[in-house]
Homo-oligomer: A and B are copies of this chain.
Amino acid sequence: MEEQHIASAFDRDLEAIQARIMKMGGLVEAAIMEAARALETRDEELAAKVVKADAAIDGLEELINEDAARVIAIRSPAAVDLRVVLSVMKISGHLERIGDYAKNMAKRTGVLVQGPAVADSSAALRRMAREVELMLKDALDSYIQRDAELARDVIERDRDVDQMYNALFREFLTHMMEDPRNITSCMHLHFIAKNVERMGDHVTAMAEQVIYLVTGNKPEEERIKADTTSVSPQEV
């Protein structure tokens, strides 16, 4: 009876933390899409909103970490339950980093609107951001539903994001070489592209956490690093 009571108290604690994770995830998804939209439509007001909204994401991470530490202290969870609580801290850490990248993207928008628009690259960046946002949504679903299959699918899709980044990298180099007036803008756009690619890496790490949580094993194969720009010099 006593054990029953403790077990369900732990479950209730965990549900409360997971609700916060989902809330945090929703804010991060919105930040990604709004940052991408602000960039595409050159909307400084929306960009400023994204920058400001990051504080709420950071605040939720703090709360989640405090909740998790409290649950560990009070409930002394063992084995699987401890793994669940620790994974919560990892996942909130990844969400916080993705939120930071979205904020950084929005900050650069303020600079970019002061220069010339560079061809269709902001639309390509928005498509890339959209792909990452969908991956994030599925990674969060896979976490809540403990669905390792969906998590594996998310990891698979990160290759598309990496390919989109590689294509953009080549595109930016071309624009810079064609017209030096594009150089400053392309430096910032390149950073944004790399940041979106890194968001994808964090979503992938979240999905790997889910697989570890469900199966107790790390994903079978080492995740393939598909950003090839650092290893192949023949970019242009």
Contact = CB atoms under 8 A, between A and B. Distances in A.
Q: Majority SS of interface residues in chain A?
A: helix
A111 B233 contact: yes
A41 B173 CA distance: 26
A73 interface: yes
A233 B76 contact: no
Given A107-B230, A107-B231, A187 B190 contact: yes
Residue of A89, A180, A230 contacting most chain B CB atoms (<10 Å): A230
A232 B187 CA distance: 13
Nearest to A185: B233
A230 B104 contact: yes
A114 B234 CA distance: 10
Nearest to A109: B230
A65 B90 CA distance: 11
A184 B236 contact: yes
Contacts of A188: 230
A167 to B, nearest CB: 15
A83 interface: yes
Contacts of A53: none
A115 interface: yes
Contacts of A235: 184
Contacts of A114: 233
B190 A183 contact: no
B180 A184 contact: no
A191 interface: yes
- Count chain B CB atoms within 10 A of each CB in A65, A72, A79 and give the residue with the most: A72
Given A72-B72, A73-B82, A176-B180, 7 more contacts: A69-B86, A72-B82, A73-B79, A111-B233, A172-B187, A184-B233, A191-B194
